[in-house]
Amino acid sequence: MKIGRKEKADLGILEIAALLHDICKSDELRCKGNFCHAEKGAELAKEILKKYGVDEDTIRRVAHCIVAHRYRNNHKPETIEAKV
């Protein structure tokens, strides 16, 4: 969060993304890396956040942070929050 504050990122987005970014990591490990936990995690995070009534813009921004946090996939971070 210290970097987020310094970079003037949306700390609410960072907090949610930080909590959910590895939500599917154990599944990836169990499957010996046959899928990307960041991609699956972003989709699961969308479902969870919708269930709790989070607005679509926040969901989109959090999902982008999650999918972009793994540098081995083709999803480049496009926002300050995803870069943090």
Segment 16-40, tens digit of pLDDT:
999 999 998 887 777 776 777 888 9
Contact 62, 44 (CB under 8 A): no
CATH number at residue 30: 1.10.3210.10
| Res 50 pLDDT > 90 | yes
| Res 4 pLDDT > 80 | yes
Torsion of CA 4, 55, 72, 9, to 10 degrees: -10
User: pTM score, two decimals?
Assistant: 0.88
3-class state of residue 74 by DSSP: coil
- Domain extent at residue 27: 2-83
Domain tally for the chain? Answer: 1
| Res 45 pLDDT > 90 | yes
> pLDDT for 58-80, tens place per residue?
999 999 999 998 766 678 899 99
